[in-house]
Amino acid sequence: MFDWKTEATELIRTADPHRAGEPIYLIPACKARRFVTLPANVAGFTSLALAYRLRPLLDWQGWGFCTVLHLGAFRRVLHLLAAALHEYAHHVCGVAEVGMVADWLGHPAADCYLRLEQTWTAETRPPHPRPACVPNPAEPPWHHHDARFRRIAVHLAHRLRFAWPGDVADIIHQDYGLASTLAYRSVLGHEPQARQSEPLAAIAASPAPPAFEEFAAWDAERAAAALNPRGSFPGGGPSAGPQGDFAEKTAFRKILGK
C-alpha cells in the first residue's frame, strides 16, 4: 500500500539533506480539526508554530516542519506530494526569516525558537480550534507566495528532478497574480545548479541574482498596478520582492521583549 507520508518525507529529505535531523510531521486535516481548521478553499497550511499547536497529536520528536493537508482536495498522488513540497517551501522561507530577524534583533536564532515555543505553547491551547489562516483583504494575492517562495520552489523542483515526475509548476500550483512560474524559473538562471549542495534556508536568506531581483520587483509593481490602477495596494504596496515582507520583525520584537 502506498504510504504518502513516507514518500513525501523522503522527497523532502532528498531535497534538503542539511535538515535531516529535523522532524517532519504531515497531518491530515481531519485529524487536526480539534486544534486547527482549514478554510474549504485551502488545501494545506504550515507555520513555524504549528508543531507546537498540534503537539498532542504528534509522536513528538521536537520542533520541526509540520503541515496540515486536506487529503480530499487532491485527485492525484502527485498533487498531494506537490502540496507537501509547497508547504515545505513556506517552512524554508520561515526558517530563513527567523534567522534574519534574529540577526536584526541581535539574538541567536535558537533564542527565537525557544521564545516561539514558550509563547505559542501558552497561547495555542484554546477551548475551540483556531482557523489556520484568515484571508486578509489588505494583502495582495501573492502574499506568502512571493519571489523568495518561488525561488525556493524552483530549487526544490531542480533537486528532485530525478526523484519524482512533478515540476515547479506543480509545487507552486498557481500564479497568484504574478508572472508565470516558468518566467521565474528562467530568470533565476543557473543558480539551482550552482547552489544545489547548500541548505535551502541559507539560499532563501541570501540575496538572489540581480536579474531575478529586478524581475521580481518589476513583476510586483505590475501586479499591484493591475489590482489597483489608482494607487498602491491597500496592504502598503507590492511585497513580491525577494526579501519579502518583514512584518515578522515586529512579532519577534514583542516576543523577545525588545
Across 113-137, average pLDDT: 57
Structural domain boundaries, residue 112: 1-258
Question: Mean pLDDT in the chain?
Answer: 81
Torsional sign, CA 79, 80, 86, 89? negative
Answer whether residue 197 shows pLDDT above 50.
Answer: yes
The domain tally of the chain equals 1
Joined grid coordinates for residue 3: 504510504
Name which residue leads in pLDDT, 50 or 158: 158
User: Taking the complete model, does pTM exceed 0.85, yes or no?
Assistant: no
Residue 176 Rama label (left phi>0; alpha psi -120 to 50; beta):
left
pLDDT at position 93 is 93
In this structure, of 33-37, 128-132, 167-171, the range with the lowest mean pLDDT score is: 128-132
End-to-end alpha-carbon separation of the chain, Å? Answer: 51
Residue 20 DSSP SS3:
coil
pLDDT at position 236 is 41
Cβ contact 93:202 at 8 Å: no
pLDDT at position 257 is 53
Answer whether residue 256 shows pLDDT above 90.
Answer: no
pLDDT at position 129 is 53
pLDDT at position 52 is 84
Question: Side chain identity at 152, as an amino acid letter?
Answer: I
pLDDT at position 235 is 43
pLDDT class of 41 with cuts at 50, 70, 90? confident
pLDDT at position 26 is 97
Name which residue leads in pLDDT, 144 or 206: 206
Across 62-74, average pLDDT: 91
